[in-house]
Amino acid sequence: MQNPAIILPTGFQYCQATERLNGQQGETRRTGIIRHMDYRLRKTGHSVRGGRHWSSWLWRVAIAVVTGGLLFGIFTNKPWALERAAWQWEQIRGMARDAVFRRMDTVPVAAGDAIPEIPHARSLPVTASYASSVVGTLSTPNPTQESVVQATPNPLTSTANYAGVAPPKSHQLAGFRHVYQTPNNCGPATLGVALSYYDWHGNQKDIAGVLKPQLRDKNVRGDEMVYYVRNHAGWLNALFRVGGDIDLLERFISNGYPVIMETGYEAETGWVGHYLLATGYDRATQMLTVQDVTAGPNQEMLYDQVDTLWRQFNRMYILVFPASEWNKIELLLAEHATPDANRLQALHQTLADTENRPEDAFAWFAHGSNLTYFSRYHEASRAYDRAIQIGLPWRMLFYQFGPYIAYFNVGRYQDVVELATTTLQARPDLEESYVWRGWARHMLGDSKAAVADFKSALRVNPNFLDANTGLQALGEQ
């Protein structure tokens, strides 16, 4: 079946909308990638999962628990009871899916065989609206441009007259209104705590209502949190960068700015992604103070522990600050001030990580993400392949989507389909996986299935612009 000529999404819809408001601020197959990771399972001692017989009693328990919770909520008019029942349903449904679908504790290994590209269907690199922190611009320098990126001055920084405070040995920020997260809500809850520092009076429900209207939506991306601040907290601005370090945390905290970090996190159910808000530090004890919407306020973490968990997400961080203090933030960011320069620094950082820790799957994954930013998709695909071969947590693609982008752009469409399918069988509430599977299915000639995927993405998150873009491109809207 021949694919119609289309224009795939290359823009940054979330970010373009932000720029207009902020001006200069700018099924399971056992072929292909579905291969058991025998080496990884032997190495870690993880058992191969099986046992479909578990699903029968799990569904019985699910029906009983959820029915009881719903009846209680209805007859007592308690919204929290209804929410709790919904959360219990999600938990039990997840257990059932683990029993039925999941066969390993790691992401499956990719085949790595590129499918010949259909030339007329795509001529430009394809990314997603959330793939850049740049507002309204597309920046994809190649390796020969790196020195140019590094040497380009930042005009805002060059005109700033703010002299930042040199970080003292310790510093603690105060004035945060702590909350504990509701189900699947660590991003909105953490953002709410950060906003409370600036006397914002909303709550995590307000933020989730915009960014993840459905309780079952598993993740809020950093760019979505930036979008919320720029469009729903008028006197504040925000940005996100990658490649952070302890020095950067100390610099911003000592100058009065808390820092949101996206990190790995060991929960009762295993490895998950999480957000932490850094609000203090003590260099003598090597301790960072964080506000944790799961564990509680004023938690202390060793610097080394912070970096171990932080680098699992390419050391991504979000800064929220008064809009009038943009130049101060630019100055404090220093060599990370512009997104391109920031990514170049992060690329050097993750290259060093892969050299120093060649068996660290997270280092290879982060390196692949930085290569993807610069459209170096073949190199990025090899980095992702290495990360997956070493072994990544099975939830990894709940939160980070670089392999989809890199594999798609080198013509590995079936790998995208199978990787996304495995992820969605684990948890069918991930809009980004639906969208990337949809585009890959379209490139393989199955536009009907692509449309179904885009619509599934919108059922998870009705506000996901990339899914609407897909439907529009295929003439469905």
3-class secondary-structure state, position 154: coil
- Spatial CA neighbour of 433 closest among 418, 446, 447: 418
**pTM of the full structure:** 0.74
Q: With contact defined as beta carbons under 8 Å apart, do 328 and 162 qualify?
A: yes
- Spatial CA neighbour of 34 closest among 100, 94, 106: 106
CA distance 124 to 284: 51
- Spatial CA neighbour of 404 closest among 428, 426, 377: 377
CA distance 151 to 174: 38
Question: pLDDT 10s digit of each residue in the chain, 477 long?
Answer: 434 333 344 332 333 233 333 333 332 222 232 222 222 223 333 333 333 444 455 555 555 555 565 555 556 555 555 565 555 555 555 555 555 555 556 555 555 554 444 333 444 456 666 554 333 332 333 333 333 333 333 333 333 456 688 999 999 999 999 999 988 899 999 999 999 999 999 999 999 999 988 776 678 999 999 999 999 998 999 999 999 999 999 999 999 999 999 999 988 778 999 999 999 999 999 999 999 999 999 999 999 999 999 999 999 999 999 999 999 999 999 999 999 999 999 999 999 999 999 999 999 999 999 999 999 999 999 999 999 999 999 999 999 999 999 999 999 999 999 999 999 998 888 999 999 999 999 999 999 999 999 999 999 999 899 999 999 999 987
Q: With contact defined as beta carbons under 8 Å apart, do 399 and 187 qualify?
A: no
Query: Tokens 């809020």 belong to which residue?
Result: 220
